[in-house]
Structures are given as C-alpha cells and as structure tokens.
Amino acid sequence: MYLPRASTHGEALPTSDAEPKQPPRGRETILLAEDEEEVRSLVCDMLQDMAFTVLAAANGMAALELCRQHSEAIDLLLTDMVMPVMSGTELAQHVRRSHPETKVVYMSGYSEHPSGSSELFSINGPMLAKPFTRATLAEVVRRMLDAG
C-alpha cells in the first residue's frame, strides 16, 4: 500500500477547544433499591461518581428503613420493579406517604412483569430498561430531579 507524501513537514492537526461533554451531576440524595447485589453496587458507584449521596438497599423493606432513618430530604427513589418482599411500585407508594416530594424512577430488566400482571405498565414515572449506560442513568436522573 502506498500513501501520498505529506506536503509539509511537522504540520499540526487542528485541535478542538471544546471540552468533552460531561454527564449531568448533582448534590441531591438518592434512595436506591435493587435486589441484585452486583447491579446495586454498580449503580451506586455510578451515582456517587456523579456526586450524588446514595442510600442503597437490597429490598423494599430495607429501603423503607433507610428512609425512616434519614432525617434529610430524599430527592429521588431509584427502584427496581421486581424485588423480593416488596415491589418497586409498593415501595414508591410507601415512600411517597412520608416523603411526598420524592420523585421516582423505576428500573427493570423485564418488558413485562414476570407473573404476567400488568404492573410494569401501570407505573407513574419513567422506566429505565436494564441494562442502561451511565449517560442514560445520568440524563434520566437529572431530568427527574429538575422537573417541576
């Protein structure tokens, strides 16, 4: 393979002054409920890297206990839909009773509820389909937190 000879020596390539786009960041508190330990750990790390304070729980009951223990506002509940003990929709109902200002984002790896019920289609809030990227997580969380 032959390539054409450069017309000048030492010619620098143009560079961009624009910085790479950073994902949205925040200082709010997020209650994370996810029963799969690896997923919970990964999502927790991603949110903490975005400067959020994260309260992580392995199921709905543990999330409610964290909610009771946390004296400050919980700005967002990020919950898996299908968990043992309590579903994500049940958890959201309980959290909203004590923290009505808390916004909710649901996560699921299912296109419909494993039991065949229509629960996944009767939620009130955005749904993050697993797996999702860090950028998608950042965008959805920031959009919900900024919503009036």
pLDDT along the chain (148 residues), means of 10: 50 46 73 98 98 97 95 94 93 94 93 51 76 96 91
Give the per-residue pLDDT at 33: 98
Give the per-residue pLDDT at 112: 57
Rounded CA separation 100/119 (Å)? 21
Give the per-residue pLDDT at 111: 65
Q: Is the separation of the CB atoms in 27 and 54 below 8 Å?
A: no
How far from 88 is each of 13, 43, 60, 133, CA to CA, in Å?
A: 52, 16, 7, 21
pTM of the entire predicted model: 0.78
Nearest to 78 by CA among 22, 148, 12, 26: 26
Task: Tell me the backbone φ, ψ of residue 54, rounded to 5 degrees.
Answer: -120, 130
Fold held by 29-146: Rossmann fold (3.40.50)
Nearest to 31 by CA among 17, 15, 47, 20: 47
